[in-house]
Structure 1
Amino acid sequence: MEYNENRPPKPTLDKRSAMLKAESYCAYQERSQQEVRNKLYEWGLHQQDTESIITELILTNFLNEERFAASYVSGKFNIKRWGKIKIKQGLKLKKVPEKMIIKALAKIDYDDYLAAILTAAEKKAASITEKDAYKRKNKLITYLMGRGFEFNVISEVLKDNQLI
């Protein structure tokens, strides 16, 4: 789509219609406060109105940062199979408080976490064509770290399962 200088600017929403739209936005899926704040600014609201709408959304339970963090962790681990480091970075980008990040990450079952690393490692090991054992190991570890898994846990899983 080309930029058109003659196009009229997007109309800004009044506080009441922005509140209704924000409720709908939050009801569709869990959102972080920062996502809602960005959306309200995008709709042309000023800081005072934005903060009052966010407060109202929290009070009416449309917006719950703890619930968002738990949902985010669950989705990124169970569906995308991300490691804790990558999930934590994603939550930090959404400006979720550190305490809530730690609490949400603690809900990941350790055995499931190890199984996820093992599955990813076995799948990747099968596709690495490198002959040199040292380079193979490095490629595998680099891949798993890129998925957000911790080095010490990767090493433990690889050693326990004779993948290195």
Structure 2
Amino acid sequence: MTDTLKDALRKAAMFCAYQERTQQEVRDRLKEWGVWGDDAEEVIAKLIQQNYLNEERFAKSFAGGKFRVKGWGRRKIKQHLQQRGITGYNLDQAMKEIAPDDYRETLADLLDKKRRSLRDDNPLVIRQKLVRYAMSKGYESDLIFAVLGSED
């Protein structure tokens, strides 16, 4: 391994140690540093070998964090993970980070909080706004209607 590659590996390890990353994020950063092709793949392989880079760990951390902190639904989380190149097994593992009971409870809390912020007398308009809000957060329509139906 050349000094340039060793330097890139050291910098990439620090990049990954700071926060969980995907292989694509590391590949893009290496390209910025002038490392690409087989050299970039060698650095990524070393990072995986040294456990600096683990896409399953990234996916679980991402899904859990976006759900707990931002209140995102499964659809939105899945879409963002796919945009980052996470698919298959790692995507399935990430979705398992969200407990069904917590998921429904979080949606109910989000809808309740949103309802209190709405100023309208028409219950149909309020319901429409709540559905649209929950859909934008990435929740499934059948669950939204089930939660709203149980609150009426």
After TM superposition, the score normalised by the length of structure 2 is 0.94
Aligned with residue 100 of structure 2, among 96, 110, 114: 110
5 Å-filtered alignment, 1:149-164, equals: 149-162=139-152
Between 140-149 and 95-104, report the one with greater CA deviation: 95-104
Output the amino acid matched with 1:113: Y
- Is the partner of 2:9 in helix, strand or coil? helix
Q: Is contact 2:27–2:36 with CA below 8 Å preserved after alignment?
A: no
Q: Distance in 2 between matches of 1:42 and 1:98?
A: 28
| Higher normalized helix content (fraction of residues) | 2
By how many angstroms is 1:93 displaced? 1.1
What secondary structure is seen at the aligned counterpart in 1 of 2:124? helix
Listed as ranges, the gaps of 5+ residues in structure 2 are none
RMSD of the alignment, in Å? 1.3
Residue 81 of structure 1 corresponds to: 71
Alignment of 1:29 with 2:29, yes or no, is no
Task: Give the alignment of 1:5-154 within 5 angstroms.
Answer: 14-154=4-144
In the TM superposition, residue 60 of structure 1 has moved relative to its aligned partner by 1.2
Matched residue SS, 2:145: helix
Distance 1:132 1:152 in 2: 23
Give the length in aligned residue pairs.
150
How far apart are 1:99 and its partner, in Å?
Answer: 2.4
- Measure, in 2, the Cα distance between the counterparts of 1:75 and 1:142: 23
Bigger radius of gyration = 1
Counterpart of 1:7 in structure 2 is none
Percent identity for Structure 1 against Structure 2: 40
Partner AA of 2:134 in structure 1: L
SS of aligned partner of 1:26: helix
Q: Which has the higher mean CA deviation after the structures are superposed, 144-153 or 124-133?
A: 124-133
Kept in 1, the 8 Å contact 2:114–2:130? The answer is yes
The CA distance in 2 between the partners of 1:102 and 1:149, in whole Å, is: 17
Give, in whole Å, the separation in 2 of the partners of 1:39 and 1:140.
40
> Aligned partners of 2:115 and 2:99: how far apart in 1?
24
Q: Which amino acid aligns with 1:17?
A: D
User: Residue type matched to 1:135 in 2?
Assistant: V
Look up the equivalent residue of 2:6 and give its one-letter code. R
Q: Secondary structure at the match of 1:102?
A: helix
Question: C-alpha distance in 2, partners of 1:137/1:47?
Answer: 53
